[in-house]
Structure 1
Amino acid sequence: MSKTLADTCGLHVVAQTPFLDDGTLDLESIDTLSAFYYRHGAEGLTVLGVSGEAQKLTVDETIAVAARYVAAADGHRIIAGVSHPNLATLAEVTAQIMAEGADAVMICPPAGIRTDEDLLRYFEAVYARIGDVPTVLQDFPAASGVVMSVPAIDRLITAFPQIGVIKEEDFPSPIKVTRMRAELSRPVRILTGNNGQYLVQEMERGADGPMAGFSYPEMLSGVYDLMTEGKRAEAHDLFNRYLPLLKHEAQGQWGIALRKEMMRRRGALTSNALRGPGPKLTATDLAELDFLIGRMDLPEG
């Protein structure tokens, strides 16, 4: 049964797309990866995001990946990234993904938008094509080049009730969360990304949880649980325990390669491969990772 966005909270992991060593899709690993995420506290998944290597997939592969995650959802929410510079492709992928049973899509405005009017016109064109599809608005100027002010975001959520969640990744994200909580004219859920690096501060400012990836998702869900229980010091302690590895993984595509290697070691993936063009870990990279995690006393599995 499709879930609405009104009750979206807790950890929604930005899921990896598994590949085999030769770069072909590994759909079977989506099943083990999904189970891994849910076992470690994920309330839902965001698939086909930037760190999910969506930009490296064909349209058919995109649909296949989304469909496999939906099939493995076991009652959890599936949000699919559909951002694309070609609006016709965005609309086609949205229709097919929603037909497969996804609960919502995530859209980040494309490069080239310069003004609030440009932004409004873009989303008018989007919703003229996709209709009443539940939407996560991704505010990620480091990737898109599009800066959305809080007043601009307010105009969007006022004009388009389809937007039920904002994925906030602008810097400084805690301050922007504070402003949105104070200034938006209708309530929306706010989930935060940036690899979870500022999660405790964002939660303190009113975020509803993380929409981020990490090879130890139980840290992200654990911090969320502790913060919602009012256990601020314990949340900071848990976060700080994992911080060296969290920071190590927050290095773009190379960091995704490290994350995939960690999840391979934990039994969630068959291979640590990224589809090319993408980095491959060297013996030096792996030795550094071994040294780092060897000093952290992290759980296995």
Structure 2
Amino acid sequence: MSSFQGIWVPIVTPFADGAIDFAALRRLSSHLLDSGVAGLVVCGTTGEAAALDKDEQLAVLDAVLETAPAGRVIMGLAGNHLKSLLSLQQQILKRPVAALLVPAPYYIRPSQAALESFFHSVADASSVPIIVYDIPYRTGVTLQQSTLLNIVRHPRIKAVKDCGGNLENTLALLASGDVEVLCGEDLQLFSALCLGACGAIAASAHIRPERFVQLLQQVQAQQLHAARATFLQLVPMIQALFAEPNPAPVKALLAHQGLIEPQLRAPMQDCGQATAERLQNLLASL
């Protein structure tokens, strides 16, 4: 089985004057990789992929691949027009990506049988592993446990980014042995790791990424008292980073660190001043 163990950061897409800031993107990529994270997820939700056209998504991927070693980049692939999605997939697969992160088709709310067919169609067309992105509060569709377990039996589906909010599904995935589970809800990171998740795709790991890596290492070493203490130190920051819609707070704090500009693309809005100041105070205490 391909291993996606570790802390993966769903990297933001920096903007300057409305355009992608490629210099800042490369700088941020190097900063995060130097911190010891397992790798980067490009064009996920945190990367504002929905605000990027297909050419921009590929350009962002290419820029990250300039700084990231082979095997340390996962690419997001989302959409509800299957033919277009598979066409973009083939363009992505010309690049050396470690995997594709794929959510259910959004907005159209397909049946459970259609969801299974969708994921298997994407997996059949892929030359790299697929990570199922289970996030019903964004897609509008819930993957039932039986459907999820059927989907992950496909030999090319190797992991699930678990944002489903259903502990029974999480436990069933862990018990199945068919896939690795990556925590996708940052506040559930400690409990997910203790249950057996192999790591996380965590937006909050943009900030003090080395602390998230330390937390994972402590759990793996069965140093649970120390791991719990590390996690509880991170909790106020994690909570504040989601006080406004992601990735506005993350971008505000990265801008405070001098890594990017704090800009988002409409209809998303920049982080409010009160939240930004709170984040700066929390950062100083970590």
TM-score under structure 1 length normalisation: 0.87
- Residue 130 (structure 2) pairs with residue 135 (structure 1): yes
Alignment of 1:117-266 (within 5 A): 117-127=113-123, 130-158=125-153, 160-173=154-167, 175-182=168-175, 184=176, 186-194=177-185, 196-214=186-204, 215-251=207-243, 253=245, 255-266=246-257
Separation in 1, partners of 2:169, 2:191: 11
Q: Which residue of 1 aligns with 2:8?
A: 12
Separation in 2, partners of 1:143, 1:78: 23
Contact residue 41 and residue 76 of structure 2 kept, 8 A: yes
CA drift of 1:124 comes to: 4.0
Alignment of 1:272-287 (within 5 A): 272-287=262-277
Tell me, what secondary structure is at the counterpart of 1:155?
A: helix
- Residue 59 (structure 2) pairs with residue 67 (structure 1): no
Aligned length: 283
CA drift of 1:115 comes to: 3.3
Which blocks of at least 5 consecutive residues in structure 2 are unaligned? none
Contact residue 253 and residue 276 of structure 2 kept, 8 A: no
CA drift of 1:291 comes to: 4.3
Separation in 2, partners of 1:280, 1:126: 34
After superposition, what is the alpha-carbon deviation per residue over 1:90-113, rounded to whole angstroms, capped at 9, x for unaligned? 112211122122221111111334
Tell me, what secondary structure is at the counterpart of 1:210?
A: strand
CA drift of 1:256 comes to: 1.6
Tell me, what secondary structure is at the counterpart of 2:152?
A: helix
CA drift of 1:123 comes to: 2.7
Separation in 2, partners of 1:127, 1:172: 24
- Which of 254, 258, 281 is residue 267 of structure 1 equivalent to? 258
Code of the aligned partner of 2:179: V
Contact residue 7 and residue 38 of structure 2 kept, 8 A: yes
After superposition, what is the alpha-carbon deviation per residue over 1:200-235, rounded to whole angstroms, capped at 9, x for unaligned? 100111100111111222222111111001011111
* C-alpha RMSD of matched pairs (Å): 1.9
Code of the aligned partner of 1:203: L
The sequence identity of aligned pairs, in percent, is: 24
Code of the aligned partner of 1:277: P
After superposition, what is the alpha-carbon deviation per residue over 1:261-292, rounded to whole angstroms, capped at 9, x for unaligned? 211222332x0111122112344343333444
Separation in 1, partners of 2:48, 2:25: 14
Alignment of 1:27-46 (within 5 A): 27-46=22-41
Q: Decide which moves more: 199-208 or 277-286.
A: 277-286
Which blocks of at least 5 consecutive residues in structure 1 are unaligned? none
After superposition, what is the alpha-carbon deviation per residue over 1:133-183, rounded to whole angstroms, capped at 9, x for unaligned? 42111111111122112321221122x21101111111144x43222222x
Contact residue 17 and residue 53 of structure 1 kept, 8 A: yes
Contact residue 242 and residue 249 of structure 2 kept, 8 A: no
